[in-house]
Structure 1
């Protein structure tokens, strides 16, 4: 059967993609950000999965305010790179895994989670920036990717507890797939940041690092954190961190298995107006 071997967590700041695309990764401002992913690029080469299940949020490219799915799973064979107003990023198109995606949709819906099934969509920086950070410049991404979009833009948004429970359902779905696939689940977005209003530019490094501590050691308790705490402590866009709880809920220890090992942890401020967080957790073999 398939299994989830690791979870990866990372911010998906659009300015990081722009710096990457325009050859600015070695500039003093950006060098420290990209240095934090050097280990990760080598790790991914050594732990190449068969499929990446990538949790992200769309930024009004695939979904407008006319239609807002809470949870949407991509079941297409491929996904074009979105034009977010300045042309598509010069990165490879994304190849999907329709068979596994459809199986996960069937299983998760039967576990009482309502998913929107998406057979065609373009994917924006929320998905492509994490791939660039983990893979570097490449002519093709290393494996198929299943996009999983979560609404954290327009209220009401899902609770951290709901996301954590969804991760558990995704793990069960993956493990019931009748093929020996090595699957990684990635949670993206965050960390603390606010893009508008009197608190624009807010970064709360102490809260961010405490979130990373709790994500590793006490994810079930962390999942109980109410929305207002994210907004108050991490800014209006800090709510993106509930997507990390989907990835964390899919790890083996949540279902009674052994705890994961921390392969890599990184935190840096600032990157644009955002704190960058990154974590790699490995399930025991």
Structure 2
């Protein structure tokens, strides 16, 4: 059967993608950010999965205010790269895994989650920046991503957005779906977005180091308790865009120790990184191995 072997968590700051695309990663401002992912790239080469379920939020590229799904699962065989106003990023197209995606959809919907199924979709920096950070710069014509990707887009842009509790439960449901898939697949689940940041208003530029690191502590040691955190705490402490962090709870909920009852021990913390700033944003990164 398929198995979830690790969860990965990372910010998906668009300027990080621009720095890579413009070959600025060695500049003094950016070098400390990318140094935090050196270990992760080595780790991923040694622990390359067959499939990544990548949880991210769309930034008004695949979905507009005309249609805002709470949870949208990409079921296509391939996903193109969105043009976010300055041309698509020069990265490879994202190859999906329709069979596993269809199975997850069937299983999760039967567990009473209402997923939107997306058979054609372009993906933006929310998905491609994490891939670039972990996989490195790649020639889009000659170097495909080293694994298949199932995109899971979560609405954290237009209120009402899903609760941390709902996201955590969705992760648990995805884990049950993956474990019931009748093929020997190595699957990772990645949660992206955050950490603390606010892009507009009187608090634009807000970064809360203490809150971010406390969030990482609880994500590791007390995910079920963290899942009860109300929205207002994210907004008050981590800024209006800090709500993206509920997506990390989907990835954490999919780990074996979060099953009911637990189906495995607490994951091992393989890597933890935190840096300020990266384009007025706090960057957080974590790798948990089953």
TM-score normalized by the length of structure 1: 0.99
In the other structure, the counterpart of 2:217 is 213
In the other structure, the counterpart of 1:117 is 117
In the other structure, the counterpart of 1:276 is 283
Q: Which whole-Å CA distance do the structure 1 matches of 2:45 and 2:270 have between them?
A: 14
Q: Which whole-Å CA distance do the structure 2 matches of 1:210 and 1:141 have between them?
A: 33
Q: Is 2:78 aligned against 1:78? A: yes
In the other structure, the counterpart of 2:159 is 155
In the other structure, the counterpart of 2:31 is 31
Q: Which whole-Å CA distance do the structure 2 matches of 1:129 and 1:24 have between them?
A: 15
In the other structure, the counterpart of 2:60 is 60
1:273 is displaced (CA, Å) by 1.1
- State the secondary structure of the residue aligned to 1:80: strand
Q: Which whole-Å CA distance do the structure 2 matches of 1:24 and 1:85 have between them?
A: 20
1:51 is displaced (CA, Å) by 0.2
Moved over 3 A (4+): none
In the other structure, the counterpart of 1:164 is 168
Q: Which whole-Å CA distance do the structure 2 matches of 1:224 and 1:143 have between them?
A: 33
Q: Which whole-Å CA distance do the structure 2 matches of 1:272 and 1:117 have between them?
A: 33
Q: Which whole-Å CA distance do the structure 2 matches of 1:281 and 1:136 have between them?
A: 20
Aligned residues: 283
Q: For 1:200-232, what per-residue CA distance to the aligned partner results, in whole angstroms no more than 9, with x for missing partners?
A: 000000000000000000000000000000000
Q: For 1:33-78, what per-residue CA distance to the aligned partner results, in whole angstroms no more than 9, with x for missing partners?
A: 0000000000000000000000000000000000000000000000
Of 251, 254, 270, the residue aligned with 1:263 is: 270
Q: Is 2:245 aligned against 1:241? A: yes
Q: For 1:143-186, what per-residue CA distance to the aligned partner results, in whole angstroms no more than 9, with x for missing partners?
A: 11000000000000000000000000000000000001000000
TM-score normalized by the length of structure 2: 0.97
Q: Which whole-Å CA distance do the structure 2 matches of 1:143 and 1:184 have between them?
A: 10
Q: Which whole-Å CA distance do the structure 1 matches of 2:74 and 2:248 have between them?
A: 18
Q: Which whole-Å CA distance do the structure 1 matches of 2:144 and 2:8 have between them?
A: 20
In the other structure, the counterpart of 1:127 is 127
Q: Which whole-Å CA distance do the structure 2 matches of 1:273 and 1:118 have between them?
A: 32
- State the secondary structure of the residue aligned to 1:271: coil
Structure 1 unaligned segments of length 5 or more: list them: none
Q: Which whole-Å CA distance do the structure 2 matches of 1:45 and 1:108 have between them?
A: 30
Query: CA RMSD of the aligned region, Å?
Result: 0.3
1:137 is displaced (CA, Å) by 1.3
Q: Is 2:230 aligned against 1:226? A: yes
